[in-house]
Amino acid sequence: MNAYDFTVQARDGSEVSLSEYQGKVLLIVNTATGCGFTPQYDELQDLYEEFGAQGFEILDFPCNQFGSQAPGDDEEIHSFCTGRYGITFPQFAKIEVLGENASPLFRWLSESTNFGGFGKGPMALMMNGVAKKMDKDFKNNGNVKWNFTKFLIDREGNIVARFEPTDMKKLKDAIKECL
């Protein structure tokens, strides 16, 4: 199984096979518009502009499961992201990434990766506390812990790396390596 085996829902409700992205390096991200990590949209757009012509795509999946931080409908979320952050990468319909209604794509991403920790520093300490309140065993499973968890997929559709919301520094080098 790989990323190309999944079908997701576009903002307009139509079905999109991820096989349409075959041969590209993908960054699959669950996002929210009212999160402390929302300014990462600027960094993501910069990456998209820098690497898009080399076969890099960012697939954005808004999710309201963490602190109800993506409360709008799909068009409101898209308008916010394009207006405030100027995103031009594909944004899909809002989904769930945890629980029984989790998107099959995110279920596969979560089950196929390990949580690597939030790193060091004040933000990491805060996120550890938040994650522990939601899941006492959070360090020992691959469940998505918060908004802006990123999964890097190679040109063959395989998961290469997982980046927690607090980890943007290593992302660019990992993308370059895949390209």
Query: Does the pLDDT of residue 145 top 90, yes or no?
Result: yes
User: Which pLDDT score is estimated for 26?
Assistant: 98
Contacts of 148 (CB under 8 A, 6+ apart): 29, 30, 31, 32, 35, 37, 38, 40, 165
Query: Does the pLDDT of residue 120 top 90, yes or no?
Result: no
Share of residues in the chain with pLDDT > 70 (%): 100
- Please give the positions annotated as active site: 35
Q: 17 to each of 63, 98, 143, how far by Cα in Å?
A: 20, 21, 23
User: Mind listing the pLDDT tens digit for each residue in 125-144?
Assistant: 888 888 888 889 889 888 99
Average pLDDT over residues 83-107: 96
Task: For residue 161, list its beta bridge partners.
Answer: 152
Task: Say if residues 179 and 56 touch (Cβ distance below 8 Å).
Answer: yes
Report the CATH number at residue 113.
3.40.30.10
Burial of 60 (0-12, 13-18, 19+ CB in 10 A): buried
83: containing domain:
3-178
Tally of domains in the chain: 1
Query: Does the pLDDT of residue 36 top 90, yes or no?
Result: no
User: Mind listing the pLDDT tens digit for each residue in 150-171?
Assistant: 999 999 999 999 999 987 889 9
